[in-house]
Amino acid sequence: MIHSLFLINNAGDIFLEKHWKSVISRSVCDYFFEAQEKAMEPDNVPPVIRTPHHYLINIYRDKIFFVSVIQTEVPPLFVIEFLHRVAEMFQDYFGDCSEVAIKDNVVIVYELLEEMLDNGFPLATESNILKELIKPPTILRSMVNSITGSSNVGETLPTGQLSTVPWRRAGVKYTNNEAYFDVVEEIDAILDKSGTTVFAEIQGVIDACVKLSGMPDLTLSFMNPRLLDDVSFHPCVRFKRWESERVLSFIPPDGNFRLMSYHVNAQNLVAIPVYVRQNISFFESGSSGRLDITLGPKQTMGKTVECVVVTVHMPKVVLNANLTATQGNYTYDPVTKILVWDIGKLNQQKLPNLKGSLSLQSGAPKPEENPSLNIDLKIQQLAISGLKVNRLDMYGEKYKPFKGVKYVTKVFR
C-alpha cells in the first residue's frame, strides 16, 4: 500500500526517506515541490497529488511534510490517518515532532517505521506495543546504553500484540496507582459583526492518564450522559455497554491516551463565555485607519477566563499598527499581516481594550472588508456543556487508585 515515505522540511530538503518495497527515486518529490510552489502556502498544498506513475499523499504537520508514495488504489484516508499516527508517535517518543528531533533519533525513527509498516501495510501502531519493542530514548537510558552496550530494542515479543487487549502491555506495576481524566471542551463559534451567533458547537474530548498496575477494568459514568450526541471511542471502550447503559467500560492502555471525543447536541444553546465590541475602520482619505476592540466576560459561571488571545488577520494594505492596550500586550507582524493581542486573564472590573491607529500603504485603495477576529481563551474547572463525570469504579485489581478529574473549556481556532 504505502510504498515510500519522504520527510521534507519547510525549506524543501528531503531529510529522511524510507522505502517499504523497492526503492523509488527521490526525484518523485519534484512533483510535490511543483505543487507546493503553486500552492504558495504550506496549508494550501493539495493532500493528494497525481504523478505519471505514482500518487503522492501528503500531510503537513509541525512544519514537516510527510509525503508518502502510493502506486495503487488505496483509500486516501487510510494513508492520511496513518501518517498522522506516525507524527503522533514521533511526538510521543521524542517530545516533539520536529526536524531536529527526528534527525537526532534517526535510528529509532527507522526502527519505528520498520515496525509500524510491513510491505506498506500497518503492522503495529499502538504506542504501548511499540514502546515495548523499541524503548523511547531517555537521557538515563542512553547513558546506561553507552556504558553497558545494551540496546534499546526490546528482547521479547510484546504480549499485547497477541492478547485480546492489544493496547495494554502485561505486567504493569506502579507504586502509586493513579488515574486522571481531563475533560476538555472546545467551543467553535462564528459570530457576525453585531455579535449574534451564526454558528456554534461544542466538541469535547476526554484525555486520560492512567497509571494503574495489573489489568484494571474501569467503569466511568456521567451525571448527564444524554448531553453527548455523537461520540467516538478509543478501541478499548466496550461499545455494547455504552449503547445499553451509557457508561464507559474499558481496560485502559498504559499511560496517556484519548479515551473518547464527543459532540454536544446543543446547536443554538451554546453560551459564548465572552463578548466583543469591535470597531475597525479605514478612512477613505489619507492612508490610515482606526481600531478599537473591547472584550468582556459573559456567562462564565463564576470562573475566570484565562489565556485570552485575540488574533486579527489584517488586509494586505495595512503597513503598521500603532495601538495601546489597557491590558496585556500586542504584536503586529508586517510580513504575515497578523495582529496578536495577548490579554491573559480577563478582569471583571476593568475590561481590556485595544485602541489606536493603523497606517496603510499610501495610494492603495482601502480594503472593502473588515478583518475577522479570532479569539482563543481557556476556562479552568468548567466544562461549558455542563458535562460531569459521576464516578469511576475499578474492578479486577485489589488496590485503591487515586482518581482525579479536571475540566477545561477552550476556544481555539
Partner 1 sequence: MLESSKESLKLEAMKRVVGLIAKGKNASELFPAVVKNVANKNLELKKLVYVYLVRYAEEQQDLALLSISTFQRALKDPNQLIRASALRVLSSIRVPIIVPIMMLAIKEAASDLSPYVRKTAAHAIQKLYSLDADQKDHLIEVIEKLLKDKSTLVAGSVVMAFEEVCPDRIDLIHRNYRKLCNLLMDVEEWGQVVIISMLTRYARTQFISPNEMLRDTNSEKAFYESDEEKRKSAEETKPYAMDPDHRLLLRSTKPLLQSRNTAVVMSVAQLYWHLAPKHEVNIITKSLVRLLRSHREVQYIVLQNIATMSIQRKGMFEPFMKSFYVRSTDATHIKTLKLEILTNLANEANISTVLREFQTYVKSQDKAFAAATIQAIGRCATNISEITDTCLNGLVLLLSNRDETVVAESVVVIRKLLQTQPSEHSDIIKHMAKLFDNITVPMARASILWLIGEYCEHVPKIAPDVLRKMAKTFHNEEDIVKLQTVSLAAKLYLTNSKQTKLLTQYILNLGKYDQNYDIRDRTRFIRQLIVPSERGGALSKYARRILLAPKPAPVLQSAFKDRDRFQLGTLSHTLNSKATGYLELSDWPPMAPDQSVRNVEVAEAVSRSTLAFDSDEGPKNGHSCEAGSRSGSGSGSSEESSSEASESDSESSSDSDSGTEQKKQSEAKPAQKVRRSSGDGLVSVCDRVCVCVCQQLSSPVFVPVHTYELLHRMTGKGLAAQYHFSRQPCIYDDRMISVQLTFSNNGDHTLENIHISEKTSAGQNIHCFSPIECLEPEKSVTVSMGVDFNDSTQAASFQLCTKAEGFNVSIQPAVGELLLPVTMSEQDFSKEQGKLQGMNESSATIAMTPESITSQPLHRKVVNMANVGVVPSGQNNVHRYQITKLVSSGALVLVCVVQKDSGAQLTVNTEKTIIGSMLLRELQTVLSAP
CB of 347 to partner 1, least distance (A): 28
**Residue among 53 and 350 whose Cβ is closer to partner 1:** 53
Out of 62, 98, 101, 114, the residue judged to bind partner 1 by CB under 8 A: 114
- For residue 192, the minimal CB distance to partner 1 (Å) is 8
**Count, residues near partner 1 per rule CB under 8 A:** 90
Q: Is 12 near partner 1 (CB under 8 A)?
A: no
143 binds partner 1, rule: CB under 8 A: no
Binding mask 70-109 for partner 1 (x = CB under 8 A): xxxxxxxxx-xxx-x---------------------xx-x
How far is the C-alpha of 125 from the C-alpha of 114, rounded, in Å?
Answer: 11
Instruction: State the nearest-atom distance from the C-beta of 255 to partner 1, in Å.
Output: 16
Among 116-124, 270-278, 354-362, 385-393, which window interacts with partner 1 (CB under 8 A)?
116-124
The binding track of 287-316 with respect to partner 1, each residue x by CB under 8 A or -, is: --------------------------x-xx
State whether the Cα torsion 376-380-386-387 is positive or negative.
positive
Between residue 369 and residue 408, which ones bind partner 1 under the rule CB under 8 A? 369, 371-372, 374
> Footprint of partner 1 on residues 312-371 (CB under 8 A)?
313, 315-316, 365, 367-369, 371
HSE-up (13 A, CA, CB side) for residue 15: 19
- Between 143 and 157, name the residue whose CB sits nearer to partner 1: 157
Q: Is 220 in the site for partner 1 (CB under 8 A)?
A: no
Secondary structure E strands in 10-124: 14-19, 48-50, 55-61, 64-70, 117-118, 121-122
Residue of 355, 352, 347, 346 lying closest to 324 (CA atoms): 355
Residue 280 near residue 246, CB atoms below 8 Å: no
Residue identified by cell 521479547 is 156
Which one of 233, 287, 342, 359 is in contact with partner 1 (CB under 8 A)?
233
Residue 77 or 269: the one with the smaller Cβ distance to partner 1 is 77
**C-alpha–C-alpha distance, residues 235 and 203, integer Å:** 20
| Whole-number CA gyration radius for the chain | 25
Q: How far apart are CA 321 and CA 323, in angstroms?
A: 6
114 vs 123: CA distance, rounded Å: 9
Give long-range contacts, CB 8 A cutoff, 24+ apart: 192-198: 193/370, 195/275, 195/276, 195/277, 197/268, 197/270, 197/272
CA distance linking residue 320 with residue 358, whole number of Å = 6
Told to check if 166 binds partner 1 by CB under 8 A, we report yes
Residues 119-138 that bind partner 1 (CB under 8 A): 119, 121-123, 125
44 or 331: CB nearest partner 1: 44
The pattern of x and - marking residues 33 through 62 that bind partner 1 according to CB under 8 A reads --------x-xx-xxx-x----x--xxxx-
CA of 382: how far to CAs of 6, 18, 105, 348, 410, in Å? 42, 45, 40, 17, 10
Residue ranges in 172-211 that form contacts with partner 1 under rule CB under 8 A: 188, 190, 198-199, 201, 203
Residue 241 sits in the site that holds partner 1 (CB under 8 A)? no
Measured from the CB atom, the residue of 106 and 223 that comes closer to partner 1 is 106
Put the strands of the sheet holding 14-19 in their side by side order.
Answer: 14-19, 2-9, 64-70, 55-61, 48-50
| Least distance to partner 1, CB of residue 308, Å | 18
Q: For the CB of residue 398, give the shortest distance to partner 1 in the complex, in Å.
A: 24
> Rounded to the nearest whole angstrom, what is the least distance from the CB of residue 351 to partner 1 in the complex?
25
3-class state of residue 79 by DSSP: helix
Q: How far is CA 35 from CA 10, 31, 43, 53, 336, in A?
A: 14, 6, 12, 16, 22
Q: Which of 164, 175, 196, 349 binds partner 1 (CB under 8 A)?
A: 164
Which residues, at least 6 apart from 28, have a Cβ–Cβ distance to it below 8 Å?
51, 54, 56, 69
Residue 249 phi, psi dihedral angles, 5° rounding: -120, 125
Residues facing residue 117 across a β-bridge: 122
Neighbouring residues of 138: CB distance < 8 A, sequence distance ≥ 6? none
- Which of residues 76 and 404 has its CB atom nearest to partner 1 in the complex? 76
Q: How far is the CB of 44 from partner 1 (least distance, A)?
A: 5
Q: Is 170 in the site for partner 1 (CB under 8 A)?
A: no
